[in-house]
Amino acid sequence: GAVVSQHPSWVICKSGTSVKIECRSLDFQATTMFWYRQFPKQSLMLMATSNEGSKATYEQGVEKDKFLINHASLTLSTLTVTSAHPEDSSFYICSARAVPGTSGFHGAYEQYFGPGTRLTVT
Amino acid sequence: DAKTTQPNSMESNEEEPVHLPCNHSTISGTDYIHWYRQLPSQGPEYVIHGLTSNVNNRMASLAIAEDRKSSTLILHRATLRDAAVYYCILNTGGFKTIFGAGTRLFVKA
């Protein structure tokens, strides 16, 4: 249980184009999903928190108009990198927090992470 | 958010136990202690969590100090597949999870 998928696993795009990354919780419901970015040899940096049916909360320094997040259902969140530039090249990781009290989870707000999406902007 | 402090790296021999320490001196009473690990080019993987008591699961054990200001993740028999970055994180009430630098574990054959 507790599987989170991301699609695509890697993508190459040209500068100025937009890229959409999907994050799905496959076998559980997640009211909250998180998006992280990770540069080589660095730790994960939280970009935004999204709750189903409401606007995402962005961390300081993250441009909300550039990184569009949509959390339309309890199992799907999307991140769209608009007008991508080479400096946006990174490893993007989503995570989903299980609803406490649901079957199989301990109510400790543990998060389950997707496998990541490697974005390369040329 | 309460912060955690971990050694930058540790080394272990295969088949030997590994004790990964984490200090969290500013932990609050409602903070859960979570451990995740990240293998190269993969998303982090949940390892274990605890609140006050020591915990065991199929992956590892978590020993929590009586004052909760530190904890230790124990891998009972390290394998080459355990080589990863291990993150100790505090989480309260379902709020966002902030990652520190973690401990990079090297396992020697």
Residues 54-73 on B with a CB inside 8 Å of A are: none
Query: Which residues have C-beta within 8 Å of that of residue B104, sequence separation ≥ 6?
Result: B8, B9, B10, B84, B85, B86
Is 90 exceeded by the pLDDT of residue A22? Answer: yes
Using an 8 Å Cβ cutoff, are A23 and A9 in contact?
no
Give the whole-angstrom CA distance, residue A15 versus residue A58. 23
A30 pLDDT higher than 90: no
Sign for the pseudo-dihedral over CA of B80, B105, B97, A93: negative
- B93 interaction partners in chain A (CB closer than 8 Å): 109
Residue A74 CB coordination number (10 Å): 17
Lowest-pLDDT range of A39-43, B46-50, B73-77, B93-97? B93-97
Between B43, B94, B98, which is nearest A113 by CB?
A: B43
Residue B32 pairs in a beta bridge with B91
Within an 8 Å CB–CB cutoff, is residue B43 touching chain A?
A: yes
Q: Is the pLDDT of residue A50 over 70?
A: yes
B29 vs A106 pLDDT, higher one: B29
pLDDT value, residue B31? 87
Chain A contacts of B85, Cβ < 8 Å? 43
DSSP A15-69: TT--EEEEEEESSS--SEEEEEEE-TTS--EEEEEEETTS--EEPTT--TTTEEE
- pLDDT above 90 for B5: yes
| Mean pLDDT on A20-29 | 91
The amino acid sitting at A80 is T
Q: Taking CB atoms and an 8 Å cut-off, how many pairs form between chains A and B? A: 60
What's the pLDDT score for residue A54? Answer: 84
A15's CB contacts (< 8 A; 6+ apart) are A84, A85, A86, A121, A122
